[in-house]
Amino acid sequence: MTPFINYSRFFDLNTLTNSSKSKDINEARSIMVQTWRNLSDDKRQQYNHGVVKFYSPVTENYLPASNLGAITERLDDLIRNNITTHGKLDQTNMDKRTFEKMIHFKSLKSCIDPGESVEILAAQSIGEPSTQMTLNSKNTNNEVPILHSSSALGKAKRLQRRWSRLLFSQVIKTLNIHKKLSLKLNDHKHTYKIEFYFDEKYGKKTIK
């Protein structure tokens, strides 16, 4: 209950209404709100009796992605209930405080900062079987791309490789280096010939 609700209990709307029309009721409510706003701080303090103050949640003042222990009330209740229910069945000799810190750390790692490349992570799951099964069975919108053929699956794999991290050591299959020494009367030189053979799934092109 807030001080305004406590104040409205002692405010008689019937004295401000001339009829049973809803318009008059709304006008009376507007008058009641305006009267409350015009009250001084001392007058408002009189209606604080019996008022229960609810504090803001922790996640409103502290970002969960950068503050260890800034969790929701729901998660905090789950942690306490788990400790109460399974605390005596723990076989790892872990105390309650260590268990709470472990869950707080896992909650911190599961958060995603604003601006993080979430779409790249989502692109890596293209072609996942269970997702496609759900789309094929429940989706009725033709605008959602569904992989019906093997050629489309190949395009999705190439798109996944394009957006994924790819090291040079993962692409190359064989590397040949040929060294040649040429000697002349007043000159000598070394000639190197390097051949790169790439894996077939990334292409059959050879660079020499």
Mean pLDDT of 133-142: 48
Closest to 109 in 3D by CA, of 65, 58, 78: 65
What is the arithmetic mean of pLDDT over 73-86? 87
Instruction: Tell me, yes or no, if the pTM score tops 0.75.
Output: no
Q: Residues in the chain, how many? A: 208
Asked if 68 and 105 count as a contact pair (C-beta separation under 8 A), the reply is yes
pLDDT band at 20 (very low <50, low <70, confident <90, very high): very low
The answer to whether residues 195 and 207 touch, using CB atoms and an 8 Å cutoff, is: yes
Q: What is the pLDDT of residue 133?
A: 46
Question: Is the predicted pLDDT of residue 162 greater than 70, yes or no?
Answer: yes
C-alpha span between 62 and 68 (Å, rounded): 9
Residue 130: predicted pLDDT:
46
Q: What is the mean pLDDT of the chain?
A: 74
Residue 2 reports pLDDT greater than 70 = yes
Q: What is the dihedral of CA 127, 128, 134, 139, to 10 degrees?
A: -30
Higher pLDDT, 54 or 23: 54
Q: What is the pLDDT of residues 29-52, one digit of tens each?
A: 788 888 888 888 888 887 777 666
Domain boundaries, the chain: 3-45, 58-110, 119-163, 168-207
Which residues, other chains included, contact 70 with Cβ-Cβ below 8 Å and sequence gap of 6+? 58, 59, 62, 63, 64
Q: CA-to-CA distance for 139 and 146, rounded, in angstroms?
A: 9
**Could you read off the pLDDT of 165-189 as tens digits, one per residue?**
778 888 888 888 989 888 887 888 8
* Average of per-residue pLDDT across 2-10: 77
DSSP codes joined into one string, 146-177: ---SHHHHHHHHHHHHHHS---HHHHEEEEEE
